[in-house]
Amino acid sequence: MRFREWATKIMLIFLLFATLILAVFAGKSAKIENNNAISNPEVIAWSEYPQAQLQSAKNPEAKPQIPIKPPAKKQKVVGLYRTTQAFASYKPRYLITHVNPTNYGERYAKDINGVTLHNQPIIVIHETGNSASSAVNFFQTPHDNENIQASYHALITQDGTVVYLIPPEKRAFGAGNSVFNGPNGEETVKTNPNLPPSVNNFAYHVSLETPPEAWGNDKAEYHSGYTEAQYQSLAWLIAQSQVPDERITTHKAVDRSRQKIDPINFDFDKFFNLLHSYRQRLS
């Protein structure tokens, strides 16, 4: 009898120890799992959600895309230039923004006297005189006064971003009292009886953002110049046109008031070297 009681006590003690050992190991295991969950939350977060494209691919109800037919090919316009591989490789950042309609207009087929116009396009290079955002804000503000209405077709920021403002088929108000002196003599068009003649009717106006140290300084005659990115983006933009080199000019050159001096410190050699690397004349 005593032996049976002693054996029973031994068995109970053994079971208690076994239960305690199992509890300790279970607790450690749970603690390790919890520690792993806390130390690597990003792993769990990513694994909970499949990528959208994989989810779409596995969706049995997803409908196959219908191929879009390409538009009919238009007859190619024979031009003077073709773009190069260097042009294709350069991909500047770009933005498209709006300009208030009071600050631009239509291109006219006839001048104020009814004479049919045959001016070939020119490109006029400007600088903003202030920050690019300041220029855009001005162009987006309605101006009823014809004497202060102004705009460019595009401008290029310090980092080379091309900001498209007005479609090229529209007339930007970039040079008020102006004339282009080319191989055919003076070219200018009067379209408004209240304003002097200008090149605006046949000009594409593009502006470079002025370096920050010269912002707001109307009397500045010198500054640090334009960035490499600005020259590259300007050449890239103009390379898309068929305007010949001899019809690319500056605001200073076309201005009749002799008050405009922009773009200041413009390096034509650098610009034309880049332009010629982005487009080549057809033989």
- The predicted pLDDT at position 62 comes to 33
Whole-prediction pTM: 0.73
Fold of the 81-281 domain: Lysozyme-like (3.40.80)
Q: pLDDT tens for residues 201-244? A: 999 999 999 999 999 988 888 999 999 999 999 999 999 999 99
- The mean of the pLDDT values for the chain is 81
One DSSP character per residue, the chain reads -HHHHHHHHHHHHHHHHHHHHHHHHHHHHHHHHHHHHHH-HHHHHHHHS--HHHHHHH-TTPPPPPPPPPPPPPPPPP-SEEE-HHHHH----EEE----GGGEEEPPSB-TT-PBP-PPPEEEEEE-SS-HHHHHHHHHS----TTT----SEEE-TT--EEE-S-TTEEE---SSB-EEETTEEE-B---TTS--BSGGGEEEEEEPPPGGGTT-TT----S---HHHHHHHHHHHTTS---GGGEEEHHHHBSSS---PSTT--HHHHHHHHHHHEEE--
Q: pLDDT tens for residues 152-166? A: 999 999 999 999 999
- The predicted pLDDT at position 191 comes to 95
For residues 165 and 151, is the Cβ–Cβ distance under 8 A? yes
Domain segments of the chain: what residues? Answer: 2-58, 81-281
